[in-house]
């Protein structure tokens, strides 16, 4: 036959995920750590890789890494699950708690992957939009879950791309108000220095997502993890791909996690630079920047798409949300090295000055 029948109907009208990575001198679009794993630690990583069998299947559940993470967080092995990046675990969540006849509560604007996963799994999406300052409309969320049909929700803390963390007292009220599974996505918690881990023991409906991709400079390696109650983890284990976390990634993540304290100065440097960048943005006329607890800043200005192109022509890649729903006119810049941040600020200042001169 010279034809193929259509793919599953939920794919119609969906666009494949495209982060629009382009070559640039200053790559400030993906919220990565601007510094790669430092040389001494990298040598240790290489030694670990050398010892890793390539002909054998990896440990399906990455139990050695699980044990390290569990111990560091005062948990048991069966309360931790490792994924091929946090993204895999987000998909597993949608598979295990979503599906036909089930409903996911989204709080846009937020990480677009959540809604895409819901659509892929034929999960209905309910929404409570954030306020104009991107804070969570807490009472509206509590009222929405009180309707009783929400199966799971994701609270991103700090929220990507807007930057603020979710107040812990709100997360606790939400956990008390619903039996929906509440994921708190802490992909950037190392930069906010706040976690809802203390709420885990008393709340069986809480699950926390973390990643090695941001603070720990391993976006290229693809390792993330969740922490939750053993019963919840068990359901996620049912839907996951058995060998999704390869042996090399497990080995790299073990070495990095054991040496996580060595990342502290770089994390503090990013937090300090975030303050400097936020301050400088506030002083550029016509630019509104939003407060951030993460390693990026969202800002709004007239001619945002022209500004994006102007920056890109000068070797600086930022993330363009200027046409995204609820984020009209917004760009997001990741906190880079001081030199990258200076180059970004200089280019943005000259864009604004040239526009005003016209
Ligand atoms: C980056 C990110 C993740 C996970 O990224 P991985 O690289 O797949 O681990 C999860 N949630 C949010 C909000 C993120 O920004």
State the DSSP code for 86.
H
pLDDT at 357: 85
pLDDT at 340: 98
The best mutation among 32, 69, 86, 92 to test binding of ligand 1, ranked by most ligand atoms within 8 Å of the C-beta, falls on 86
Residue 30 CA, ligand 1 centroid: distance in Å = 10
Nearest 5 degrees, angle CA 337-CA 339-CA 343?
115
Nearest-atom number in ligand 1 for the CA of 83 is 9
Residue 281 CA, ligand 1 centroid: distance in Å = 25
Residue 279 CA, ligand 1 centroid: distance in Å = 26
- Is residue 246 within 8 A of residue 220, CB to CB? The reply is no
Q: What whole-number distance in Å separates Cα of residue 87 and Cα of residue 105? A: 18
- Is residue 69 within 8 A of residue 257, CB to CB? The reply is yes
Residue 37 phi, psi (nearest 5)? -50, 130
The model's pTM = 0.97
Give mean pLDDT in consecutive 10-residue pieces for the chain, a chain of 358 residues: 95 87 92 96 98 98 98 98 98 98 98 97 98 97 98 98 98 98 98 98 98 98 98 98 97 98 97 98 96 98 97 97 96 98 98 90
- Is residue 32 within 8 A of residue 213, CB to CB? The reply is yes
pLDDT at 161: 98
* Helix count and strand count (H, E) for the chain: 12, 13
- Is residue 116 within 8 A of residue 14, CB to CB? The reply is yes
pLDDT at 18: 82
Residue 226 CA, ligand 1 centroid: distance in Å = 12
Q: What is the DSSP string of 198-244?
A: GGTTT-TTEEEEEESSSTTS-TTT--EEEEE-HHHHHHHHHHS-TT-
- Is residue 255 within 8 A of residue 61, CB to CB? The reply is no
- Is residue 93 within 8 A of residue 183, CB to CB? The reply is yes
State the DSSP code for 317.
E
Nearest-atom number in ligand 1 for the CA of 160 is 13
Instruction: Look at ligand 1, atom 4, and give the residue with the nearest C-alpha.
Output: 86
């Amino acid at each position: 036959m010279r034809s193929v029948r259509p793919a599953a109907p939920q794919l119609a009208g969906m666009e494949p995920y495209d982060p629009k990575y382009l070559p640039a001198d200053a790559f400030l679009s993906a919220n990565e750590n601007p510094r790669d794993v430092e040389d001494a630690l990298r040598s240790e990583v290489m030694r670990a890789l050398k010892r890793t069998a390539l002909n054998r299947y990896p440990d399906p559940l990455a139990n050695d890494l699980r044990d390290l993470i569990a111990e560091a967080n005062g948990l048991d092995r069966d309360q931790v699950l490792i994924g091929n990046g946090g993204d895999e675990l987000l998909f597993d969540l949608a598979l295990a708690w979503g599906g036909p006849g089930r409903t996911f509560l989204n709080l846009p604007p937020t990480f677009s992957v959540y809604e895409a996963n819901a659509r892929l799994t034929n999960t209905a999406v309910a929404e409570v939009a954030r306020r104009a300052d991107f804070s969570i409309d807490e009472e509206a969320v509590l009222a929405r879950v009180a309707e009783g049909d929400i199966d799971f929700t994701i609270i991103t803390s700090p929220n990507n791309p807007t930057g603020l963390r979710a107040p812990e007292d709100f997360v606790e009220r939400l956990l008390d108000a619903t039996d929906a599974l509440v994921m708190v996505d802490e992909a950037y918690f190392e930069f906010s220095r706040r976690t809802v881990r203390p709420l885990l023991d008393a709340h069986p409906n809480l699950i926390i997502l973390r990643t090695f991709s941001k603070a720990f400079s391993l976006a290229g390696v693809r390792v993330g993890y969740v922490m939750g109650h053993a019963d919840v983890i068990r359901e996620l284990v049912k839907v996951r791909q058995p060998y999704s976390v390869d042996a090399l990634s497990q080995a790299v993540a073990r070495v990095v996690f054991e040496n996580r304290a060595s990342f502290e100065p770089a994390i503090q440097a990013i937090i300090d630079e975030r303050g400097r960048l936020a301050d400088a943005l506030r002083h550029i006329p016509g630019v509104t920047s939003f407060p951030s607890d993460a390693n990026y800043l969202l800002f709004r200005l007239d001619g945002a798409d022209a500004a994006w192109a102007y920056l890109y022509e000068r070797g600086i890649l930022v993330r363009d949300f200027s046409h995204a729903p609820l984020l009209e006119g917004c760009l997001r810049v990741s906190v880079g090295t001081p030199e990258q941040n200076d180059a970004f600020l200089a280019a943005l200042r000259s864009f604004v000055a040239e526009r005003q001169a016209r």
